[in-house]
Amino acid sequence: MRVHNHPGSIRNVRRRLAACAALLSLAVAGGVMSAAPATATFSPNKAATTAVPGTANPLPSVDPVGDPANLSVLVNKSRPLNPAGYVPGDLVNARGSGLYLRAEAAAWLNGLFQGAADAGTGGLAIVSGYRSYAQQQELYAYYVNTFGQAYADSISARPGYSEHQTGLAVDVGNANGSCGLSTCFGDTPAGIWVAANAHKYGFVVRYPNGYTNTTGYSYEPWHLRYVGVSLATDMKRRGFPTMEQFFAGNPAVYASIKSGADLVAADSSGRLLRYPAHGGGGYGVPVMIGSNWTGLKQAFVVDWDADGVYDILAQWNNGTLGLFKGWPGGAFSTQIVVGTGDWDSMTITVGKWSNAQGFPGIVGYFPDGGLRYYPNTTGRALTYRVDIGTGWAGMGLTMADWDADGANDILATAPSGQLLSYRGNAAGGFAGLPTTVGSGWGTMKALVPSFGLSGPGSRSITAQTSDGYLVDYALGTGQWGTQRQVGNGWNGMKLFK
């Protein structure tokens, strides 16, 4: 439920909201990484237990979800529920309050309430939960009759456009009743704790402060939306404050590379192909997005200039390092040279190695095995070099957030086939000793980080085997999840990492 700090009417609005909440509740029907134990070592030919995913990718992963039964469904002023009269099939009485939520949301809400209590916040209370189409229609009509249509639209969703109808939205308040349905809730111990910790329980503060133009509603620290732990954690780590920005706010929607789940590859004739991810764990029919991509040592899909559109960084066999800037409307710029000389002799990986830098950089080594970090401080050319390690000769490099702490790590394939995780410290260096996270990886030609292949919030490593198969390995929090074969016949393809 929504309320603005409207001069002269706020007290009456709160009283009416409290009365409406009561009526509605009656109307609702019924540091140093230690070595991993042997059981945690993962072989490419062996499945493991699924773990909660997360990610550190800067761009959205998949298109907005429209299925009202999906936990990730995007509902707002321009995206109504379909069908408009949708009723969730698994509503339960949330915490014996007489207010209803979908079963999964209610179960995780129990954990959220317990966490808030354990943190000494004074506890939380449920103010509002599921509302049917008819209930929302009645509430909206009341606001229109009381305040007029324009103001009603600023404090209440129209029937068929309300998150509360999904059974995934809940309004919460302090257990003692203070700051109920008011922005001051966000400044109370409970409100501060909820904003910082809701993602751990699968909730997001749906209408954060300062994003009225994005969401259509003013700041509501009390309105929580359940999206699942994976998506909520993904939004938190990547800094997406609203669902609109995570999904529909992607400026790359018309770009050649549209999401972090797409797979990009060059075939033997030099055609550049994008294999669109369909969100269900696989790829669609490839789309040709370029030509004449022969002579590559390797290439990387990366938002090099942090403009929200994917670019390509190409490492050529002639020693040049070139940037092809992606345009929001599609296609790429001509090559921008960001490095010359002997880059062909380097083994590199690309990504956000230091959180202090606004742009991704390069980590790599020459044949001497000396590992260097090259920051990208301008979103264009490289500037200086930092020596960060020795003894890396012969290692394959992939940058990914293995332990899901928001800092990228280096996954290194040793000549023996062991896969090692070198934990990054988010400041351009390492934190502690490497951990063995797998064996038998010597048969892999490429390891490609993927974001959203199995749905919103999911992250994984897509591996190209030496015999032409693609196998996707889900990433958890410092452990592997499920593995799935997602392609075959990829022998002649060069995957962009």
User: What is the C-alpha to C-alpha distance for residues 296 and 3, in angstroms, rounded to an integer?
Assistant: 57
User: What is the C-alpha to C-alpha distance for residues 280 and 296, in angstroms, rounded to an integer?
Assistant: 31
How far are the Cα atoms of 46, 59, 71, 96, 458 from residue 28, in angstroms, in the given order?
A: 48, 39, 21, 13, 34
User: What is the C-alpha to C-alpha distance for residues 322 and 380, in angstroms, rounded to an integer?
Assistant: 10
Task: Determine how β-strand 296-302 pairs with β-strand 311-316.
Answer: antiparallel
* Residues whose CB is less than 8 angstroms from the CB of residue 26 and which lie 6 or more positions away in sequence, other chains included: 98
Phi-psi region of 436 (alpha: psi -120 to 50; beta: other; left: phi over 0): beta
DSSP calls for 386-431: EEEES--TT-EEEEE-TT-SSS-EEEEE-TTS-EEEE-B-SBSSB-
Angle between helices 133-147 and 10-27 (to 10 degrees): 160
Are 340 and 347 within 8 A, CB to CB?
no
What is the residue whose two structure tokens read 């203070």?
A: 178
Are 145 and 155 within 8 A, CB to CB?
no
User: What is the C-alpha to C-alpha distance for residues 251 and 325, in angstroms, rounded to an integer?
Assistant: 14
Phi-psi region of 440 (alpha: psi -120 to 50; beta: other; left: phi over 0): left
Q: Minimal CA–CA distance to 180: which of 130, 129, 120, 222?
A: 222
User: What is the C-alpha to C-alpha distance for residues 32 and 265, in angstroms, rounded to an integer?
Assistant: 37
* Rg, the chain, Cα only: 25
Catalytic residues: 220
The 3-state DSSP class for residue 152 equals helix
What is the residue whose two structure tokens read 């109808």?
A: 165
What is the residue whose two structure tokens read 């439920």?
A: 1
Q: Minimal CA–CA distance to 164: which of 196, 194, 134, 144?
A: 134
User: What is the C-alpha to C-alpha distance for residues 405 and 402, in angstroms, rounded to an integer?
Assistant: 8
Are 312 and 300 within 8 A, CB to CB?
yes
Are 61 and 456 within 8 A, CB to CB?
yes
